[in-house]
């Protein structure tokens, strides 16, 4: 007898093949049969009018801290995700010595928009080394499957301490790091992740440790990863790491390179396409490079107390080092403002905000008498006041004791351009950032948005193409065997959706982080069931509390030449 039988579904297997009507049976957490299935089952689900597909593999998350207090990985577990890859950009919490915990948390507060008090109250520091961290996750269990990158910034801090944010590593320090990379690959890391992006700053605007690495350090560590014959090198790139340079790393290491974050910039409309074309040329030469793109507009809610969209500007750095009255003095300083304006006039390069003031609006005012400006754009408000938009925004925020909440549509706002990116043959659709920027940002439902907006509403992709991008493609790139596809013997990671209604709801604020702190979340639409290793963890009403923790820590990844 089967444990589960899902009947009358249109089954999409995750390979890109068209869907076929039929049934799917599950036994002991694995798919037992697909097609004509007449055997009895303990649970039968009638899926008439619904699509059955593999569960979504979210290959770009930052749940490294949250998973230590939230085994559900909220909200991904109710948004169709069955496997999450953590440690992206190298912003991990392991390895970490007790003496470095406060520094690590303060850096995450800045670079990933996390609350310091939430991290202090929430992280269970039952580990120091990367192997101990993986063992802790495995013992505690999770609702979703997890795969973990070894993170470069944590690795540098472990070896170099405070100097990790001050200088390049010595040859001896690089050798120590390489040894730890080799050890991590042996015990089940999915790869090695880093960042050279200029907006990735730690506390006080200090560059994250990985940004201090030179090319010798970077290539040595990726080569050490590649010695295992496994692993993906994941990099969020800055201007100094060209696609040509990353191709040379792929060629030397023999391993795939996942390049993030390729987002369309309306002030530099060819930039992302030039990089995707360079990736395509590298693929033709036999080097596996992929461009990680997003199907969502990059939006960010922020206050001037922590203005993440502006923190990629060198001129903004003094504001990142200040708090309270000191911060307000800096924001009011004409010379500070002029320096920011001057930098805004320079070519865009790689940064989040590019002077498109019509894409920033006031979401919530701190003072009731100012409510009339809510939902108005900064460019319009500044024009009405006869001011430069930067001056208006800073003056208004200072008058509200920096409590004004703004929202910015930063990148990916040109839907025609984004549609072309999504169809690029060497693009990998991801970049949810789930687990990070909790109070300002939530794209954990990116997969539902892809199928609802870009398939049903825009017709940019077929449903089978979108499902492949969310399931079979990341499983193949990251070497995850037996997942991302529906076939007998594969893990029963399943998602049941209504293609006529699938999508994500509007973002809303909840107060369920440690200490009652807020975060943004979104609800699933058109999701009728999520199963992880054969256990139903969510239905149309949301998470199923009695599901337990059926997820597995993934440690075995396929060797691919």
Residue 284 has a pLDDT of 97
pTM above 0.85, yes or no: yes
Long-range contacts of 538-546 (CB under 8 A, 24+ apart): 538/77, 538/78, 542/78, 543/72, 543/74, 543/77, 543/78
Integer Cα distance of 63 and 69 in angstroms: 10
Report pLDDT digits (tens) over 134-171: 999 999 999 999 999 999 999 999 999 999 999 999 99
Chain centroid to CA 281: 26
pLDDT at 547: 95
- Measuring CA to CA, how many Å separate 39 from each of 11, 23, 45, 47, 48? 18, 11, 14, 17, 18
Tell me: pLDDT of 348 over 80: no
Q: Give the whole-angstrom CA distance, residue 434 versus residue 122.
A: 17
CB 202 within 8 A of CB 250: no
Q: State the burial class of residue 223 (Cβ atoms within 10 Å of its Cβ: 0-12, 13-18, 19+).
A: middle
Report the pLDDT averaged over residues 235-240.
89
Beta-carbon contacts of residue 136 (< 8 Å; ≥ 6 apart): 68, 124, 126, 127
Of the candidates 54, 34, 38, the one whose C-alpha atom is nearest the C-alpha of residue 491 is: 54
Per-residue b or e along 479-506, where b marks 16 or more CB atoms closer than 10 Å to that residue's CB: bbebbbbbeeebbbbbbbbbbeebbbee
- Does residue 350 register a pLDDT over 80? no
Distance separating alpha carbons of residues 84 and 86, to the nearest angstrom: 6
- Kindly list the distances between the CA atom of residue 243 and the CA atoms of 15, 60, 272, 291, in Å, as whole numbers in the listed order: 28, 20, 11, 10
Rg (CA), the chain: 23
Q: Is 129 exposed, middle or buried (0-12, 13-18, 19+ CB in 10 A)?
A: middle
Say if residue 559's pLDDT is above 70. Answer: no
Give the pLDDT band (50/70/90) at residue 388.
Answer: very high
pLDDT of residue 511: 93
pLDDT of residue 561: 43
Contact of 295 with 422, CB cutoff 8 Å: yes
Least Cα distance to 479 among 237, 258, 315, 223 occurs for 258
pLDDT in the model for residue 199: 82
Q: Is the pLDDT of residue 517 over 60?
A: yes
Mean pLDDT score, 176-197: 98
Angle at 94 between CA 156 and CA 72, to 5 degrees: 145
Q: Domain map of the chain by residue range? A: 2-54+522-547, 300-409
pLDDT at 36 over 60: yes
Kindly report, residue by residue over 499-508, the tens digit of the pLDDT. 999 999 998 9
Among 472-476, 549-553, 556-560, the minimum mean pLDDT is found in 556-560
- The C-alpha angle with vertex 499 and arms to 470 and 477, in degrees rounded to 5, equals 10
Q: What is the per-residue DSSP string for 399-452?
A: HTTT--EEEEEEE---HHHHHHHHT-TTEEE----BTSSTTT---TTHHHHIII
CA distance 498 to 528: 7
Please give the helix or strand (H or E) that residue 81 lies within, else none. Answer: strand 81-86
Task: Give residues with Cβ within 8 angstroms of 229, minimum separation 6.
Answer: 254, 559, 561
- Classify domain 2-54+522-547 at the CATH superfamily level: Urease, subunit C, domain 1 (2.30.40.10)
Q: Are 289 and 242 in contact (CB under 8 A)?
A: no
Q: Give residue 354's pLDDT.
A: 86
pLDDT of residue 525 exceeding 60: yes
- Binned at pLDDT 50, 70 and 90, residue 112 comes out as confident
CA-CA-CA-CA dihedral for 484, 486, 490, 491, to nearest 10:
60
Structural contact between residues 45 and 11, judged by C-beta atoms closer than 8 angstroms: no
Query: Among the ranges 304-313, 465-474, 507-516, which has the highest mean pLDDT value?
Result: 465-474
Q: Which residues does residue 110 pair with via DSSP β-bridges, in sequence order?
A: none
CA-CA distance, 200 to 197, in Å (whole number)?
6
Q: What percent of the chain has pLDDT over 70?
A: 99
Q: Residue 472: which region, alpha, beta or left (left: phi > 0; alpha: psi -120 to 50)?
A: alpha
Q: Does a cis peptide bond (omega within 30 degrees of 0) precede residue 160?
A: no
Is 34 within 8 Å of 22 (Cβ atoms)?
A: yes
CA 432 to chain CA mean position, Å: 4
Read off the pLDDT band of 298 (50, 70, 90): confident
521: left (phi over 0), alpha (psi -120 to 50) or beta: beta
Of 109-113, 129-133, 336-340, the poorest mean pLDDT is in 109-113
Mean of pLDDT values over 280-296: 97
Per-residue pLDDT, 349: 60
Query: Is residue 560 pLDDT above 70, yes or no?
Result: no
């Amino acid at each position: 007898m089967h444990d589960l039988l899902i009947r009358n579904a249109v089954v999409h297997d995750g390979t890109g093949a068209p869907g076929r009507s039929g049934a799917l049976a599950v036994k002991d957490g694995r798919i037992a049969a697909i097609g004509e299935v007449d055997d009895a089952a303990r649970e039968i689900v009638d899926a008439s009018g619904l699509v059955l597909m593999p569960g979504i593999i979210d290959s770009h998350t930052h749940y490294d801290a949250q998973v230590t207090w939230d085994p559900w990985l909220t909200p991904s577990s109710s948004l169709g995700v069955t496997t999450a890859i953590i440690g992206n950009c190298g912003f991990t919490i392991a390895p970490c010595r007790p003496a470095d915990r406060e520094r690590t948390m303060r850096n995450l507060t800045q670079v990933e928009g996390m609350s310091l008090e939430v991290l202090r109250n929430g992280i269970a520091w039952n580990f120091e080394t990367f192997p101990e961290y993986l063992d802790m996750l495995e013992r505690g269990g999770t609702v979703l499957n997890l795969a973990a990158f070894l993170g470069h910034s944590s690795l540098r801090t472990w070896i170099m301490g405070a100097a990790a944010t001050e200088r390049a590593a010595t040859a001896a320090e690089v050798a120590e790091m390489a040894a730890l990379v080799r050890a991590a690959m042996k015990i089940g890391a999915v790869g090695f992740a880093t960042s050279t992006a200029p907006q990735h700053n730690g506390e006080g605007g200090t560059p994250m440790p990985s940004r201090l690495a030179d090319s010798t350090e970077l290539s040595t560590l990726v080569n050490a990863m590649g010695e295992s014959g496994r692993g993906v090198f994941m990099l969020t790139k800055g201007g100094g790491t060209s696609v040509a340079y990353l191709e040379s790393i792929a060629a030397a290491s023999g391993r795939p390179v996942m390049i993030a974050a390729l987002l369309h910039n309306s002030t530099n409309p060819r930039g992302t396409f030039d990089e995707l074309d360079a990736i395509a040329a590298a693929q033709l030469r036999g080097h596996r490079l992929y461009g990680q793109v997003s199907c969502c507009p990059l939006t960010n809610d922020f206050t001037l107390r922590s203005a993440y969209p502006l923190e990629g500007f060198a001129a903004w750095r003094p504001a990142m080092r200040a708090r309270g009255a000191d911060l307000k003095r800096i924001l009011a300083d004409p010379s500070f403002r002029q320096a920011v304006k001057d930098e805004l006039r320079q070519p865009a390069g790689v940064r989040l905000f590019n002077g498109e003031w019509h894409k920033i609006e006031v979401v919530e005012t701190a003072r009731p008498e100012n409510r009339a400006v809510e939902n108005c754009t900064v460019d319009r408000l500044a024009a009405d006041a006869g001011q430069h938009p930067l001056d208006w925004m800073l003056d208004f925020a200072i008058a509200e004791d920096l409590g004004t909440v703004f929202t910015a549509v930063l990148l990916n706002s040109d839907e025609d351009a984004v549609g072309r990116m999504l169809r690029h043959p060497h693009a990998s659709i991801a970049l949810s950032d789930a687990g990070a920027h909790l109070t300002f940002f939530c794209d954990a439902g990116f997969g539902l948005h892809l199928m609802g907006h870009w398939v049903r509403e825009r017709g940019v992709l077929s449903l089978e193409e979108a499902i492949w991008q969310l399931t079979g493609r990341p499983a193949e790139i990251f070497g995850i065997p037996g997942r991302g596809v529906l076939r007998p013997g594969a893990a029963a990671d399943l998602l049941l959706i209504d293609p006529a209604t699938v999508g994500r709801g509007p973002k809303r604020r909840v107060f369920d982080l440690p200490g009652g702190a807020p975060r943004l979340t979104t609800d699933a639409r058109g999701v009728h069931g999520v199963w992880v290793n054969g256990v139903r963890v969510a239905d149309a009403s949301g998470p199923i509390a009695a599901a337990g923790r059926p997820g597995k820590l993934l440690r075995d990844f396929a060797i691919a030449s």
